[in-house]
């Protein structure tokens, strides 16, 4: 689907807008050997988004009061914390696991089923996580950058991680596909997509406004954030690593993950990841 294309960029778009590298057109990137193919898929995804998803998201924002939109967004985000916590556990990041599981329990009880994000209000920031990040922490190289039809930015490793995310979320019951009622399940899928896109209207408008080459902007922002998530740093910090490193160098650092602090909210760096 097109929506996660933007969900993964939300936390870094503002940072990248201030850096020259994200908007530099024509600069070769060693992690993007399939650029010709990727640009074609990116253009297709962008066309679909502008024709379908963005107008629907704008209409949803127009007719739905902000408190209702916030409640819906928080509830989807809350159930996603279960799978994020599972990945933190698989990565050996115990601190993040405890924090994320605590967020879920706190928001589910005190936040009325997750409608109110009381955990963030009390300093327990969200820690996005997914199985693609887990594979990176385990030492698997990212491989070339790859734009997937409808889904958006990815890499060879993250594409494989999507399979783990699908089954993992079903196992932890954080995916609508785990619901037996087909109409309800499909409605939740649709609402999740619209909610995600609506919450990123400002971000994508910024990309359109400031990026000289939107494709390079999106690619570099995505690779930067994924590298930061694997290494356990916040995507906006000065110590974000060089995401264009070769895989063998990337693997060496990824084998020694560091836990994030609640202050940064990074996963050890939002689906996304939700």
Given a cut of 80, is residue 27 above it in pLDDT?
no
Q: Give the pLDDT band (50/70/90) at residue 7.
A: very low
- pTM (2 decimals)? 0.73
Q: How many helices (H) and strands (E) does the chain have?
A: 13, 2
SS3 (DSSP) at 145: strand
> What confidence score (pLDDT) does residue 194 get?
95
Number of domains in the chain: 1
Burial label, 181 (beta-carbon count in 10 A; 0-12, 13-18, 19+): exposed
User: What percentage of the chain has pLDDT greater than the value 70?
Assistant: 72
Range of the domain at 23: 3-254
The CA–CA distances, whole Å, from 74 to 115, 120, 192 equal 5, 11, 11
Tell me how far apart the alpha carbons of residues 79 and 61 are, in angstroms, rounded to a whole number.
Answer: 22
Residue 177 domain-assigned? yes
Residue 264 domain-assigned? no
- Percent helix, strand, coil in the chain (nearest 5)? 60, 5, 35
Q: How many CB atoms lie within 10 A of CB 57?
A: 23
What pairing do the DSSP bridges indicate for beta strands 145-148 and 152-155? antiparallel
DSSP string, 83-96: HHHHHHHHTT-HHH
- What sign does the dihedral 14-160-45-187 (CA atoms) show? negative
SS3 (DSSP) at 205: helix
> What confidence score (pLDDT) does residue 29 get?
81
Residue 260 domain-assigned? no
Averaged over 145-169, what is the pLDDT? 93
pLDDT digits (tens, 9 = 90+) for 69-127: 999 999 999 999 999 999 999 999 999 999 999 999 999 999 999 999 999 999 899 99
Q: Give the pLDDT band (50/70/90) at residue 179.
A: confident
Residue 119 domain-assigned? yes
Lowest mean pLDDT among 51-60, 200-209, 223-232: 200-209
Residue 272 domain-assigned? no
Lowest mean pLDDT among 114-118, 160-164, 234-238: 234-238
Residue 91 domain-assigned? yes
Residue 198 domain-assigned? yes
Residue 135 domain-assigned? yes
List, in sequence order, every beta strand (DSSP E) within 166-243. Answer: none
pLDDT digits (tens, 9 = 90+) for 186-214: 888 899 999 999 998 998 899 999 989 99
Is there a contact between 141 and 251 (Cβ–Cβ < 8 Å)? yes
């Amino acid at each position: 689907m097109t929506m996660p294309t933007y969900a993964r960029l939300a936390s870094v778009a503002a940072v990248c807008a201030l850096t020259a590298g994200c908007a530099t057109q024509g600069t070769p990137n060693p992690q993007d050997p399939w650029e010709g193919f990727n640009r074609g898929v990116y253009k297709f995804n962008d066309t679909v988004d502008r024709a379908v998803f963005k107008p629907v998201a704008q209409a949803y924002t127009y007719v739905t009061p902000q408190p209702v939109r916030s409640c819906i967004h928080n509830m989807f985000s809350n159930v996603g914390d279960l799978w994020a916590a599972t990945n933190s556990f698989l990565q050996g990041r115990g601190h993040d696991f405890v924090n994320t599981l605590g967020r879920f329990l706190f928001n589910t009880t005190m936040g009325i089923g997750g409608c109110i994000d009381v955990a963030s209000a009390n300093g327990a920031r969200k820690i996005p996580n997914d199985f693609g990040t887990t594979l990176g922490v385990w030492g698997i190289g990212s491989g070339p950058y790859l734009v997937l039809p409808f889904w958006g930015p990815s890499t060879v490793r993250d594409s494989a991680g999507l399979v783990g995310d699908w089954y993992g979320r079903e196992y932890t019951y954080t995916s609508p596909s785990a619901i037996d009622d087909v109409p309800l399940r499909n409605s939740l899928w649709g609402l999740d997509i619209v909610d995600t896109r609506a919450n990123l209207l400002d971000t994508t408008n910024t990309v359109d406004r400031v990026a000289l080459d939107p494709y390079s902007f999106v690619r570099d922002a995505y690779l930067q954030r994924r590298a930061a998530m694997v290494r356990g740093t916040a995507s906006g910090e000065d110590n974000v690593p060089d995401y264009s490193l070769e895989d063998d160098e990337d693997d060496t650092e990824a084998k020694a993950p560091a836990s994030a602090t609640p202050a940064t909210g990074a996963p050890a760096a939002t689906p996304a990841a939700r």
